[in-house]
A and B are shown apart, each in its own frame.
Chain A
Amino acid sequence: MTLTPNLTAHWDEPDSYTVAGYERHQGYQALRKAFEMGPDAVINEVKDSGLRGRGGAGFPTGMKWSFVPQGDGKPHYLVVNADESEPGACKDIPLMLASSQHLIEGMIIASYAFRANHGFIYIRGEVPHVIRRMHAAVRDAYAHGYLGKNILGSGFDFDIVVHGGAGAYICGEETALLSSLEGMRGQPRLKPPFPAVAGLYACPTVVNNVETIASVPAIIRNGADWYSSYGTEKSKGIKVFAVSGHVNNPGIFEAPLGITMRELLGYAGGIRDGHSLKFWVVGGSSVPMLTEEHLDAPLSYEGMESVGTMLGTATPMVFDETTSVVRAITGWLDFYKHESCGKCTPCREGTWWIDQLLHDLAAGKGKTEDLATLEQLCAQILGRSFCALGDAAATPYPQALKLFRSEFEAGTHTAANDLFDPAAAVVFSGVKTS
């Protein structure tokens, strides 16, 4: 399958993020067209395109917009989830740096469609340059009359606020994000009510991922048929993939959904020279890992489901034979333990117990029964935590155990760093072998 640069098509032009650079390539033409179509037609076009949420969950975008009650007399809000923090996920940050105006035009069109006059971009706090870039991009759009009152004489008013968070992975969960944006601790809320009914300030709110919204202008401009001509039956369209890890040429690749990992690996120059693939994780650390035998499965929502994992963010991390699975899983559990918000017991307590047992195994001091205890712990968290963070924490271990059981068994007598010299997995030279 060939690559299909769409959002990234003009990244070789240094001003791709400015209104001027964007307008050279049809920028803001979709907005004009949307104003002619009318809001309901825009929603239908996005529905027909088959666009699904690109943040990981894959919910149909047009359907989400149609859940916003109309004529309810309440303000509606669009909140862009730009809290990209999942280990492995690294596509929204580049999009905001280089395709800032795609996101802004998409926000205006989306908000026009479900009748919101106020949009927010919630960006994780640890990326000042991205926050600067989006503030400047919003100013640029105001200066060109694309934001503010009566945009292009349409009678539609729209304002955008850029918001910097403060380092909490949980704020990528949509209701936690809304709590944070309301100036509270970033803890998730019970659903229902869903944000489309009672979101920001208890008003109807759509929370969409950066890539989802940035994909909207091209769909409106070229039409739903154009977009849905790419991808598979159930996974329409084009996706931004980010291939990272032990490959020769890591980076961003835009391709139709349904491309395979084997093809992407080829474009990324293959596994680093002299090494072989051990495992890869397609959707961020929260999805079950895969191996060589899954390289030909289509990278689509249903294709990944068919091999027991999830497409998630579609940002595959690749690890070669020098990597200790026990060390990787322990590292991810360190992350979930640290990021658990503390609201619910299964996640707050469970992540600490899992992490503790994994550290024992990584140190070669585990007990034989720990392997089963860990499975039991994961099963007790999965589906019983308040939000998806607990599920995510319970997911990496069972699959890793299934695929690489002997490495966990070795954890009862041999440290992971003795089985796999950490220096061998390092990608720069000069680190002493142990």
Chain B
Amino acid sequence: MALTEETRAQLLEIVARYPVPRSALNPMLHLVQSEEGYVSPEGIELCAEIVGLAPAEVAAVATFYTMYKRRPVGEHHIGVCVNPQCGILGGEAIFDALSSDLEIGNDETSADGKITIERIECQAACTYAPVATVDWEFMDDMSVDKMRDVVAKLRSGEEVQSSRGPVVQGFRAAERAIAGMDDGQADAGANNADANMQRGLTVAKEQGMPAVDGGLKS
């Protein structure tokens, strides 16, 4: 897919958020990925032209960060956290099953172009270990069986609901959201405070612990 005038306009929209144009590079490169499926040489040139840098300077930035991909990602991206503790609580087993089922390794894409898998690092959701992501949306408390079910649904085009977030929309759509483009999903799952997030609050209420916030004092 070629980058269009519309892409350029949206990149300029991102630049306008910042006091200094170059500051916009992170979200701009995410937007390029949402159009191209990876950070393409063409995308790097366009970003460089817009913020007034040499393409090599933008490439130097793009190659520093692991989320920017140098090869096209599949329709969906699946990440499995393999850091301890997710890895120990089952993440390694989940990744191994995924890898053997799809017959691909880390950072590779299934032959049908549907799914890319990646061994990812701590996703800041440790209370839900083992944690995975589909299109970077949280898939909390995963297991091998649950992951197999997710993959089957993605391959047949059925809806996959993330744990604390929206129905997954594909890698490119997620990259648009990361670039800060409004996709109307901000309220998905309301405040996302499930039983795990409310654990302490629930205990406090059950055991009649007093409220702490006394309110406005002059």
Instruction: Kindly identify, within residues 15 to 40 of chain B, every residue whose CB is under 8 Å from any CB belonging to chain A.
Output: 17-27, 29-30
Task: Annotate A208-251 by CB proximity to B: 1 below 8 A, 0 otherwise.
Answer: 00000000001001110010001000000010011111100111
Shortest Cβ distance from residue B21 to the other chain A in the assembled complex, whole angstroms: 8
CB pair A218–B143 under 8 Å, yes or no, is: no
| A88 vs B85: C-alpha distance when bound (angstroms) | 8
B164 contacts A by Cβ under 8 Å: yes
| A251 vs B67: C-alpha distance when bound (angstroms) | 28
Given the known inter-chain contacts A129-B166, A426-B93, please indicate yes or no for A118 contacting B198, CB distance below 8 A. no
Shortest Cβ distance from residue A40 to the other chain B in the assembled complex, whole angstroms: 18
Shortest Cβ distance from residue B69 to the other chain A in the assembled complex, whole angstroms: 10
A201 contacts B by Cβ under 8 Å: yes
Instruction: Kindly identify, within residues 98 to 115 of chain B, every residue whose CB is under 8 Å from any CB belonging to chain A.
Output: none
| A302 vs B83: C-alpha distance when bound (angstroms) | 28
Shortest Cβ distance from residue A314 to the other chain B in the assembled complex, whole angstroms: 13
A182 contacts B by Cβ under 8 Å: yes
CB pair A244–B187 under 8 Å, yes or no, is: no
| A13 vs B193: C-alpha distance when bound (angstroms) | 9
CB pair A250–B89 under 8 Å, yes or no, is: no
Shortest Cβ distance from residue A429 to the other chain B in the assembled complex, whole angstroms: 8
CB pair B180–A244 under 8 Å, yes or no, is: no
- Which one of A14, A98, A327 contacts B197 once the chains associate, using CB atoms below 8 Å? A98
A360 contacts B by Cβ under 8 Å: no
CB pair B200–A3 under 8 Å, yes or no, is: yes
Determine the chain B residues whose CB is within 8 A of the CB of A97 once the complex forms.
Answer: 164, 191-193, 197
How many inter-chain residue pairs (CB < 8 Å) link A and B?
Answer: 312
Determine the chain B residues whose CB is within 8 A of the CB of A165 once the complex forms.
Answer: 26, 65, 67
- Which one of B19, B166, B179, B182 contacts A118 once the chains associate, using CB atoms below 8 Å? B19
Shortest Cβ distance from residue A152 to the other chain B in the assembled complex, whole angstroms: 15
Task: Annotate A16-37 by CB proximity to B: 1 below 8 A, 0 otherwise.
Answer: 1100010001100110010000
Determine the chain A residues whose CB is within 8 A of the CB of B162 once the complex forms.
Answer: 129
CB pair B122–A335 under 8 Å, yes or no, is: yes
| A180 vs B68: C-alpha distance when bound (angstroms) | 14
| A335 vs B184: C-alpha distance when bound (angstroms) | 34
| A11 vs B191: C-alpha distance when bound (angstroms) | 7
Shortest Cβ distance from residue B192 to the other chain A in the assembled complex, whole angstroms: 4
Instruction: Kindly identify, within residues 130 to 150 of chain B, every residue whose CB is under 8 Å from any CB belonging to chain A.
Output: 130, 133, 135-138, 142-145
* Chain A residue at smallest Cβ distance from B182: A135
Determine the chain A residues whose CB is within 8 A of the CB of B82 once the complex forms.
Answer: 331, 334
| A218 vs B124: C-alpha distance when bound (angstroms) | 25
- Which one of A21, A126, A319 contacts B85 once the chains associate, using CB atoms below 8 Å? A319
CB pair A88–B126 under 8 Å, yes or no, is: yes
Instruction: Kindly identify, within residues 158 to 207 of chain A, every residue whose CB is under 8 Å from any CB belonging to chain B.
Output: 161-169, 180-187, 201
Determine the chain B residues whose CB is within 8 A of the CB of A162 once the complex forms.
Answer: 180
CB pair B212–A5 under 8 Å, yes or no, is: yes
| A285 vs B60: C-alpha distance when bound (angstroms) | 29
CB pair B126–A315 under 8 Å, yes or no, is: yes
* Chain A residue at smallest Cβ distance from B196: A251
CB pair B215–A221 under 8 Å, yes or no, is: yes
Determine the chain A residues whose CB is within 8 A of the CB of B125 once the complex forms.
Answer: 90, 93
Shortest Cβ distance from residue B76 to the other chain A in the assembled complex, whole angstroms: 13
Shortest Cβ distance from residue B193 to the other chain A in the assembled complex, whole angstroms: 4
Interface of B is mostly: loop
Shortest Cβ distance from residue B145 to the other chain A in the assembled complex, whole angstroms: 6
- Which one of B17, B137, B213 contacts A218 once the chains associate, using CB atoms below 8 Å? B213
- Which one of B60, B121, B187 contacts A87 once the chains associate, using CB atoms below 8 Å? B121
Determine the chain B residues whose CB is within 8 A of the CB of A428 once the complex forms.
Answer: 90, 130, 142-145
CB pair A26–B213 under 8 Å, yes or no, is: yes
- Which one of B124, B180, B192, B210 contacts A135 once the chains associate, using CB atoms below 8 Å? B180
Shortest Cβ distance from residue B101 to the other chain A in the assembled complex, whole angstroms: 14
CB pair B124–A127 under 8 Å, yes or no, is: yes
| A339 vs B122: C-alpha distance when bound (angstroms) | 11
Instruction: Kindly identify, within residues 281 to 320 of chain A, every residue whose CB is under 8 Å from any CB belonging to chain B.
Output: 285, 315, 317, 319
Closest 5 CB pairs of A and B: A251-B199, A253-B200, A136-B186, A183-B22, A166-B65
Additional pairs, 15, CB under 8 Å, beyond known A2-B207, A11-B201: A17-B191, A97-B164, A97-B193, A98-B191, A129-B137, A129-B138, A129-B165, A166-B68, A167-B65, A183-B51, A185-B61, A201-B20, A250-B126, A331-B84, A428-B142
25 A-B interface contacts by CB (under 8 A): A26-B213, A85-B121, A85-B124, A90-B126, A94-B193, A127-B123, A129-B192, A132-B182, A132-B185, A136-B182, A162-B180, A164-B180, A166-B26, A180-B26, A183-B20, A184-B22, A221-B215, A222-B217, A242-B127, A250-B199, A251-B196, A253-B200, A285-B84, A335-B121, A426-B93
* Interfacial residues, chain A to chain B (CB-CB below 8 A): 2-6, 8-9, 11-17, 21, 25-26, 29-30, 33, 75, 84-90, 92-94, 97-98, 118, 124-129, 131-133, 135-136, 161-169, 180-187, 201, 218, 221-223, 226, 230, 238, 241-246, 249-255, 267-268, 285, 315, 317, 319, 323, 327-328, 331-332, 334-335, 338-339, 341, 422-423, 425-431
